[in-house]
Every structure is written in structure tokens, then in C-alpha cells.
Structure 1
């Protein structure tokens, strides 16, 4: 797909995505056999839940049906969010990744894995994990020094932006203490 077509799709779809409180992060058209797939990635500062993604998908589908932006051939529309190991390419991506562990590829060479503590217009305040029992250290990194950055998947990550230290992958009711779970179990058995 040429840049001009990509720009036309972005111009057509971005206002609709923004009107629903989301950012249009990415548009890609891929050929899969004889079919084409239009992949649209959306996000927001608070994330995009399944209902928001479904709603924007319906709106985008209707808008595309009204136009010939995808031509006359068949295509499939896929709308989703950036994913767990998203690349950080815009300032807003770094803000959204506050509290997350990120692998940075530096312009001067080398890699750095650190947790984003704060973001401003000029750079990032980071916490670099300690090695071999040493304490974590803080470091300032200018955005201009970052070649690439990608969020790392953590199964037991530290506090999020709100200071919540609960395991984000725990599907149990995290508002209850272990004692409350025991009490509930005893009540169920009685």
C-alpha cells in the first residue's frame, strides 16, 4: 500500500476514532492470499476495553462501507489494541507506559532495561533494577537518546501508575485478604 493510500485511510478514519475518545495508533493493509486485511490499532490513556474496541470497529466498518477507500475487492477489518510488548514511538506511549519495564535501544549503542517512573517533554526518569543483590538506581534518559523502546512483559510486575502493587495477572478478587478467602471457604463448607 502506498503512503498516499495510507494517509487517505488515516484522514478518513482518525476523526471517527478520536470522536470515540481513542487514538489511532496504526493502520496496515496486508494481503493474505486473495484477501486483504485492514488492521487498525487504537488506544487511549486509560486503555481500550473490549466494548470500546467493538464500538469503534462498527463505526469504522460503516464509514468504510460508505466510501471506496478500500476499493471494490473483499477485505477484512481487524481492530485491536497495541498488545503487551508494544513499541514506544510517541511521547504519549511513554506516558502510558509509566510504571512499566521497558527495553531501550540507545542511539549511542547498547541496551538498557529500566522501569519508567516519570515522563516529561525532554525525557524519562527511570529506575534501573539492581544486579546481583544491589539496589536499584535512578537515571535520567533524554528522549533524543532513545533509538527504540519496547514494553517488556512482566508476570509479577511492581506498582502501576496508581501505586497498586497487586499482581495484575491475578484473576481472584484482590480486594479480599487471605483470611477472608478462608472464612468464605469455611462458610461454603458449612
Structure 2
């Protein structure tokens, strides 16, 4: 999705979501087969339910109809980001300190591009992750500008 379309959708969605005491987590606009899907992910501390998603969908649908920021026909889906929620912004990483995360980098760090472990610190420029390697724990420092993707991870 172009940054311009994403920015327009976010500008419409943020006031709606915040007015309902929720947070806009992510916006995706993707073509799947012949159809386009606009997916809006919302959350709050106690989680969201179907009723929350319906409220946001109804209000956002009305705002999209009035502003018409997307040319082609699409399906609107509003949902929770799920247990393995993406960590896209610095504030998302700050909130994830103490939790288990999965991080991939643009280039290898110490020969690896994938890291999974407990996020112990994020200072705005560096992620510090404790990773279990067999029987020992290794602390990795990953520069934030080298992070391709980050998400919460479920520990089994």
C-alpha cells in the first residue's frame, strides 16, 4: 500500500479508534486474487471483542464513504492483531519490554537474521534481547534501524 493511502486511512481511523478508547495497531491494503482488502487492526489493554470490531467497522466505513480515499472496490476488515501482534513503532517496542519477541533484521548480526527471546530493554535506538542458546542465555543488542520486522511471540 502506498504510504499516501496508508496515511489517509490512518488519519481517518485514529480519531475513531481513540474515541472508543482503543489503539490503531496497523493498516494493510492488499490484493488477494481478484479482490482488495483493507484490514484495520485495533487493540486495547484488555483486548478487543467482536462488538468492538463492529463499532469501529461501522464508524470507519462511514468515514471512508464520506472521504473516499481508495479508488478501487475493497472489503473492509477490522480485527485484533492477535497474540503475535506486530511491533511496528517505537512505542510498541517500549510496551513489549519484558515480553517474548521475534525479530528479523535486514542484514545478519553475528551471522544471524532471526532472533527470538525476551525483550529486556528498548532505549529508542537499540533492542536488547535475552536469547536462550541450549543451556545458556545470551544477551543480544540489535540496532533499531536494522530491524526489518518485530512481533510478539508465543512461548510453547
TM-score, normalization by structure 2: 0.71
CA deviation map 1:137-164 (0-9, x unaligned): 4444442443433332223xxxxxxxxx
Aligned to 2:81: 82
2 CA distance for matches of 1:141 and 1:40?
29
Aligned to 2:124: 121
1 CA distance for matches of 2:31 and 2:107?
37
Query: Which has the higher Rg, Structure 1 or Structure 2?
Result: 1
Matches within 5 A, 1:48-59: 48-50=47-49, 51-59=51-59
CA deviation map 1:70-107 (0-9, x unaligned): 45x75432101222333322112213333332233345
Contact 2:12-2:60 at 8 Å conserved across structures: no
CA RMSD of aligned residues (A): 3.0
SS in 1 for 2:149: strand
2 CA distance for matches of 1:75 and 1:124?
37
Aligned to 2:93: 94
2 CA distance for matches of 1:141 and 1:104?
9
Does 1 or 2 have the higher relative contact order (CA < 8 Å, sep 6+)? Answer: 2
CA deviation map 1:3-33 (0-9, x unaligned): 4333322222222223223332322333456
From the two aligned structures, give the one with the greater strand fraction: 2
Structure 1 unmatched ranges of 5 or more: 156-190
Contact 1:103-1:112 at 8 Å conserved across structures: yes
Contact 1:40-1:78 at 8 Å conserved across structures: yes
Contact 1:127-1:137 at 8 Å conserved across structures: yes
Aligned to 1:18: 18
2 CA distance for matches of 1:18 and 1:127?
34
2 CA distance for matches of 1:8 and 1:15?
12
SS in 1 for 2:117: strand
CA deviation map 1:37-59 (0-9, x unaligned): 32111234x25311433322222
